[in-house]
Structure 1
Amino acid sequence: MASGPQLGSAAPDFTLPGGVLSGSGETFERADYRLTAARGRSVVLAFYPGDNTTVCTKQLCSYSSGMEAFEGLDADVWGISPQGVDSHESFARAFGLRMPLLADEGREIAKAYGVSAPGIGVRRAVFLIGPDGILRWKHVALLGATFQSLDTLTNRLSGIKGA
């Protein structure tokens, strides 16, 4: 496994297709998400192995239910996995997910962040990127059976916002 970006360095830029449920939850709005376009706000990148899997579902539902806390800290949350946008749309609809789910089908972004893994595809990982595009915190799981909690992420983001 590559080490990926180091704390205090610029986060690797990328553009990925994805989508998010609209406010009404009835439409799935597709777009291309570019990291540099998010400058001025913190970004939580949550890499996860797969749509509709037990731990991934718990993780993303937890983050989705805490979107107001992230918004209060001027942070966007983006989920990234190797499945395509159609899979993400089905997953988001089934669980009412409110954050963009981005399709890294070739795992190029996972490789750039050092979380591509043989066999499972992508390691469960979270990267917190400051509004200036600098990587401020990261956690890469070895096994991926657990995930970083909403409280952990909002506490870390509070430190970024206060810095």
Structure 2
Amino acid sequence: MPKKQVKGEVTEEERLLQLQQRAQAEEEMAKKKEETLTLYLKDKLQKEQRNASVNLLKLIESWRKNLRQARDAEQLKHVAILHQTNERKLDEQNFIMQKTKRELEEADRHADQVQRCHLQQEEDLLGQRDRVLMNLEQQWDSSLQNLSFILSSEMSVKHHK
């Protein structure tokens, strides 16, 4: 039989009911805490994943920037080396051109000298030819005069006969 309830006293059934309700409430609170914690952890995980993505992008961008800087430095060194090489080649070519120019000038002077010598020899040969022709002309004239004289003498001898 159930006991009579005295004012202020709780019966065994009520106490069990209260304990059961309290256990249910604690269980619901624990579930709510677990759900809240789960939601919080999921939210935190999502934030961490977003931050990880952002940080990865930042890291990649930083790596690319460093790589570009390193490549830029390499390219600048390469350009400097090419510039020095081209300057050296240009100096060599300028030296060769100057040497060739001097050799051409020397060859021109030599050609001018050879041409002057040739002209001098031609003038000498023309002078010799003129002297030979004058000599031959004088011999011709002399021979002609001799022949004329001989012919006239013979004619006069024939005429006197």
As a proportion of its length, which structure holds more strand? 1
TM-score, normalised relative to structure 2: 0.12
- Could you say which structure has the greater relative contact order, defined with CA pairs below 8 angstroms and 6 or more residues apart? 1
TM-score, normalised relative to structure 1: 0.12
